[in-house]
Amino acid sequence: MVDRKIKILFLIICTLQIFYIFHFRSGFRYDVIKNPFKENSGIVYALSPKVIESKDLLKKHKAIDFDLSPSLKIETYFYQRSIEFNYPIRINENSKLIFFSSEEDIPNTCKLIETGKYLKLTNC
């Protein structure tokens, strides 16, 4: 009888420990588990808003390829994530669609297509 009570107590403690780890220590989000097969499920937790905005702008304008301004290419995190997240839309050095940061000045040869919160999409 005592052995059975110890096993039940052990199971309760283990369950509470798992809940504690998921809820307070790991940063685990239940939204990701609720919708695991929906498109873009959990991207808000994995990517910066700047990268998400780049995909939204490219989809909106039905882009085939794009390029980044030199200052955005220097930002290694943004450069890598924008290439990976925007696939199958590829980065192309000869593309006419170029992203600039919202703080950057656009060259006179470029026409502003749309301005977002973080990025400007131009046609050069």
Q: What is the pLDDT of residues 34-51, one digit of tens each?
A: 777 777 777 777 788 999
**What is this structure's pTM?**
0.69
The DSSP letter of residue 123 is E
Q: How confident is the model at residue 32 (pLDDT cuts 50, 70, 90)?
A: low
Query: Average per-residue pLDDT in the chain?
Result: 85
Among candidate residues 58, 114, 113, the one with its CA nearest the CA of residue 87: 58
Mean pLDDT within 15-40: 72
The secondary structure of 75-119, three-state, reads: CHHHHHHHHHHCCCCEECCCCCEEEEECCCCCCCCCEEEEECCCE
